[in-house]
Amino acid sequence: MKSTRRALGLAGLALAAGFWATAPASAAIINYKVMLLPSSEVPPNTTKGSGTLTGTFDTTTKVLAWTVTYSGLSGPAVAAHFHGPADPGVNAAVVIPQPGGLQSPMKGQVTLTDAQAAQLIGGKWYFNVHTAQNKGGEIRGQMVK
């Protein structure tokens, strides 16, 4: 009887270990704090503007959420968006436009595709704020953890 209980106990432990081994990995939240600077533009400009993007990316839901604050721009923001894929110092196409208003603070949230998520995690996206004086972008920052 004692050996039967021991065998059942060991079988239970083995079964539990099997569940733990096959359980999906926990979701990871990646935090971003990105400085938006005129010197990061391509080509760089000499405006007095600056800003910060703070955001999170949930690797399970693939939801990217962000807040952008800025000040000192040469004029009102006329556009703002994520660009990619691109390394620092390289320009790329718009990937995700800023939803809603462009006044500081800007907020947004979007669900990414698998390919977009891989680019973001790989540091291949940047955020750009454009003004009428700097149509190509006034302040920019690369999305790195």
Concatenate the DSSP letters of all residues of 89-132 into one string: T----EEEEPPS--SSSEEEEEEPPHHHHHHHHTT--EEEEEES
Element (H, E) at 3: helix 2-22
CA 29 vs. chain centroid, Å, equals 10
Task: Give pLDDT tens digits along the chain (145 positions).
Answer: 555 444 444 444 443 444 334 445 567 999 999 999 999 999 999 999 999 999 999 999 999 999 999 999 999 999 999 999 999 999 999 999 999 899 999 999 999 999 999 999 999 999 999 999 999 999 999 999 8
Max CA distance (Å), the chain: 86
Say what the pLDDT of residue 2 is: 53
Say what the pLDDT of residue 81 is: 97
Say what the pLDDT of residue 100 is: 87
Say what the pLDDT of residue 3 is: 52
Do residues 127 and 41 lie in contact, with contact meaning Cβ atoms separated by under 8 Å? Answer: no
Do residues 138 and 129 lie in contact, with contact meaning Cβ atoms separated by under 8 Å? Answer: yes
| Tokens linked to 122 | 């790989």
Q: How far apart are CA 48 and CA 63, in angstroms?
A: 32
Task: Indicate the pairing of strand 139-142 with strand 126-131.
Answer: antiparallel
